[in-house]
Structure 1
Amino acid sequence: MDVVTAYLYGPLDNNIYMKLPKGFKLPEAVNLGSQEYYSIKLNRSLYGLKQSGRMWYNCLYGYLLAKGYKNDPISPCIFIKRFSSGFVIIVVYVDDLNIIGTPKEISLTVECLKKEFEMKDLGKQDFVLDYILST
């Protein structure tokens, strides 16, 4: 699964201000000087911010924990949930989710995720590239 505009889901944990983008029109009542003297406060993270990846992960992390998934203590990108009839493992890579498990539970998980996030189903995984660091 691919989360569409994932970084826009993450609320900011501190105040971030940015210069006005080119083409931004100020109201006439405020437009007293050059636009370079004005800035805007962001309410959500944007692509390009250093914090965006962390904010998106925190949003997903909180949602999955609230839905009963357990975070793997060794690898924080893995979430596991056991059902009475099966299991689901979600592996997170930035804004992509690889969902592994029993068919019924995968369907339930996808439905649950689509209720909160706009997602595209990329189909079944053909292969997984395993990368091991050697020292």
Structure 2
Amino acid sequence: MRRMDVVTAYLYGSLDSDIYMKIPKGFKMPKALSEKPKDMYSVKLQRSLYRFKQSGRMWYNRLSDYLISKGYKSNLICPCVFIKKTTYEFTIIAVYVDDLNIIGTHKEINEVDVHLKEEFEIKDLGKTKYCLGLQIEHMPNDILVHQSNYTEKVLKRFNMYKAKSLSTPMVGRSLNVDNDPFRPCEEYKDVLGLEQDSVRLPQKALEWNQTHISIPSWND
């Protein structure tokens, strides 16, 4: 899996509506217009800029159109994933704003690299080591995905980093706030919220949903 970053990605997007802005500082006005103050004029943008509401969508449309023109197909359920398959080769591109994570056969990954650099300014960041809170380690025959750094951060926050670990089987029933009191309540809710961010593995998600105490005042 390789990670690539598109430099100033939003600036590649074409605007879908007319947007005007004040003359920026340092802009040299043409002599024919220099008789009036700068604040009497405005400029019409031809490209999207950062902080525009539609900038992200315009960038996605530009990237999507380009990848589709190169034979990739956008996933119907997750449009940010693009797939290209042949008889012996395949490529999967996962897009998160301006970060691209690419997995596939060596030939196809190199081809993606060439295509992207033909159209955009790209930084090749090498193997993906971190993505959306997940740590990724590349082994000789497989890939290990974990959240060790996040788990350590949570443990340190609640002074449990040096606590002795032990195997605790999952409770065989759903916990109840009346029968299973837990104090302090606020700290418990903090732990649950942070723990929820780490339930990306199916077995851990099951344990979290089955054993946490439902608190009526969750949103208080």
Q: TM-score, normalised by structure 1?
A: 0.91
Tell whether 2:118 aligns with 1:115: yes
Aligned to 1:81: 84
Structure 2 residue 71 is matched with structure 1 residue 105: no
Map Cα deviations across residues 90-134 of structure 1 (whole Å, 9 max, x no partner): 000001100011111111111111111110100101244356599
Q: Pick from 113, 125, 128 the counterpart of residue 125 of structure 1.
A: 128
Aligned residue pairs, count:
135
Query: Which position in structure 2 is the counterpart of 1:68?
Result: 71
> Which SS does the other structure have where 1:121 is aligned?
strand
Aligned residue for 2:27? 24
Higher relative contact order (CA 8 A, sep 6+): 1
Q: Structure 2: any 5+ residue segments left out of the alignment?
A: 135-196, 210-220
Which residue pairs with 1:3 in the alignment? 6
Task: Give the aligned CA root-mean-square deviation in angstroms.
Answer: 1.9
Question: For the residues of structure 1 that align with 2:106 and 2:82, how far apart are their CA atoms?
Answer: 17
Query: Percent identical across equivalent pairs?
Result: 59
- Find 2:15's aligned residue among 4, 12, 17: 12
Moved more, 74-83 or 19-28: 19-28
Contact 1:83 1:105 in 2 (8 A): no
Alignment partners' CA distance in 2, 1:8 and 1:93: 16
User: Structure 1: which amino acid aligns with 2:29?
Assistant: L
| Residue 86 of structure 1: how far off its partner (Å) | 1.6
> Which one has a bigger Cα radius of gyration?
2
Is residue 2:61 matched to residue 1:58? yes
Gaps of 5+ in 1: none
1:85 Cα deviation after fit: 1.7
Q: Residue 44 of structure 1 aligns with which residue? A: 47
Q: Deviations over 1:3-40 (max 9, x none)?
A: 01111111111111100001212122212222111000
